Copies of this chain bind each other. A is one copy, B any other.
């Protein structure tokens, strides 16, 4: 290997790991260009999350609205699979990092993707409503297309447990207040309401916006991509996953299954048989 090629291979190796997020030198850490010591003690955790994900800082009122969405989604109790998995994991011997990993992993398309999917829907409608009122026909078409592609469950609307989601009501009131203060545009909240109205007509009953819909509106008016919206949900729910891992650690227990063993599971397979019989066949 000659000198030239060694240098160029090293250049390629350096470029292999390339990032605009953080710059580190001995004694110096720059985050998005800012020396870390200027950020510590100055930014809230939520502002730091925003800076890391967006590259720039939020204004104070943006940060306030952002915090409200992060606060809203931290937990939904031990019957959610993610939380149950976190608790079962620590009884198998895992540290909190392992319990969080097994649990966060299941925040996938079905258990953790509703917010992202709702944002995609809002953005698709919003892209056809730039700088003007939202055309109800655009909403209808978007819903029709969504239902053809993904089925009739519209992400961000309805809840199998809560007839009305108390988190959504409060979040939407905060969006309206921010809108009245000129902090954010009203576009996505308006689209959200039009979808709600259309669903009421389509189903003949109320299918109110839930927390995934309300946070989708907030993350959208704050300029986040739907992919970031999904990441923010995971950060938020990680708090609950951690809290339950810690609580279960304190409760103790070993190899905790999903139900007490006094409740049997159901076997639906073939009746007892023997290899000899199988081999004779």
Contact, CB under 8 Å: B18 / A266: yes
**Contact present for B161 and A261 (CB under 8 Å):** yes
In the assembled complex, the Cα of A203 lies from the Cα of B107 at a distance in Å of 41
Judge whether B17 and A240 touch: CB under 8 Å: no
* A6: chain B residues within 8 A (beta carbon): 3, 6-7, 9-10
Q: Is the beta-carbon distance between B234 and A24 smaller than 8 angstroms? A: no
Report which residue of A18, A80, A258 has the largest number of chain B beta carbons within 10 angstroms of its beta carbon.
A258
> What residues of chain B lie closer than 8 Å to A101, measured between beta carbons?
98, 101-102, 104-105
Interface size on A, residues (CB 8 A): 143
A-to-B contact residues, CB < 8 Å: 1-3, 6-7, 9-10, 12-24, 26-46, 48-49, 52-53, 55-57, 64, 67-68, 70-72, 74-82, 84-85, 87-89, 91-98, 100-113, 161-167, 169-171, 173-174, 227-228, 230-231, 234-236, 238-240, 242-247, 249, 251, 254-275, 278
- Identify 17 new A-B residue pairs, CB closer than 8 A, beyond the known A3-B6, A22-B75, A22-B269: A1-B7, A16-B265, A20-B269, A21-B75, A27-B165, A30-B267, A34-B272, A34-B275, A36-B170, A40-B68, A41-B170, A80-B255, A81-B256, A93-B108, A94-B98, A161-B261, A235-B242
